[in-house]
Structure 1
């Protein structure tokens, strides 16, 4: 399927971020970059038992993420995270981003489509990447009170059905658009299912021919 847009007047092009536009996850590497190896390792120890519960299916992915965010970001100033996110983007852009993904984003932008990232990663962390790409951003929102992160998610984790709900909250009924969507994990299934043009792992060197059934 060709990524070129013929009639882009009502085109909405949505890209997952981690693993789709990037070669790997971005949030955990960001935490390592922001806090440094010593603090990162010390705090990571607290996640051993929750991680084992997740592996044993006694905790959900969202619950594990809640603990990760609380462990690292509770009580941290939002401006500090924003600056670290900008520094992380500057330093790791080349080694993190997939060149073929960048080309696809540029193609959609140049076509006149509305282009957005829709990701489960914190929007605060991904904003410098979206700004550099010149596109919009929907991500998981972190709760901030008096300029300080509480360690909690504001709303819900932006994955699975939440991706569709967040897109509709921002853009209105998706049926109003010709929706193109790019994704690579279970968290993208619903978004891909809603699209007229779903792209499953299109930028991976070894491409899956089709998305597994939901």
Structure 2
């Protein structure tokens, strides 16, 4: 872990799904956007890829790509953004953790640079970031002539990609005092890079027991 310069600028980074929210947001968003019947029909197509992922024959990133391809190929970008805004408006209260919202507000009010860094599509999370008044780094959906191709641009924003994406936006993280909040394996590298790391900080006490933060800082975890 890098030593930060004296009085370094604070960069506060929040994972979204499960950290600021009570649960995942992308699957509920797809159900909301496409309706229960279409959602159920398309999820059936994911049964085999999900089974292959459980058997370690398909990675999480590859499964995510199949999910995006199944639902978002040929979708109008403007329609998706409108659905994302509607989803945020309707589900905000039931989705967001109040303690997480207070923490984000506290970081903003302290003068820190604050951003969400999430594996969920940035296009879906943008209304949430806008409402929080903070920046957003997320998985980028490929768009061609206003239509989604069903592919992602670059890499799924999880694990080491979170650190790489942050550095592509903010520069070397050693120039900051990095504060980070996360709750899954996909946040380990981010937490390991932070001087001030918070594991499942907004979760009930029983779910915080096995903090990986100290372990991650002294050993390289396999993907």
* TM-score bracket, shorter-length normalisation: over 0.9
The alignment yields a C-alpha RMSD, in angstroms, of 1.2
Shift of 1:211: 2.3
Matches within 5 A, 1:96-107: 96-107=95-106
For 1:11, the equivalent position in structure 2 comes to 10
Secondary structure of the residue aligned to 2:124 is helix
1:75-99, CA deviations, whole angstroms, 9 ceiling, x for partnerless residues? 0000000000000000000000000
Contact persistence 1:8–1:111 (CA under 8 A): no
* TM-fit CA distance, 1:56: 1.1
Which segments of structure 1 move beyond 4 Å, counting only runs of 4 or more? none
Give the alignment's TM-score, normalised by structure 1: 0.95
Structure-1 separation of matches of 2:83 and 2:111: 32
Contact 1:8 1:113 in 2 (8 A): no
CA positional deviation for 1:9? 6.1
Q: Partners of 1:153 and 1:36 in 2: how far apart?
A: 23
TM-score by structure 2 length? 0.91
Task: Verify the 8 A CA contact 2:8 2:175 in the aligned structure 1.
Answer: no
Alpha-carbon shift at residue 208 of structure 1 (Å): 1.5
Tell me if 1:114 matches 2:113.
yes
2:218 corresponds in structure 1 to none
How many residue pairs end up in the alignment? 208
Q: Is residue 66 of structure 1 aligned with residue 65 of structure 2?
A: yes
Aligned to 1:3: none
- Alpha-carbon contact 2:14-2:20 (below 8 Å) kept: yes
State yes or no: 1:211 paired with 2:211: yes
Alignment partner, residue 181 of structure 1:
180
Q: Distance in 2 between matches of 1:208 and 1:108?
A: 22
Question: In the alignment, what sits opposite 1:75?
Answer: 74
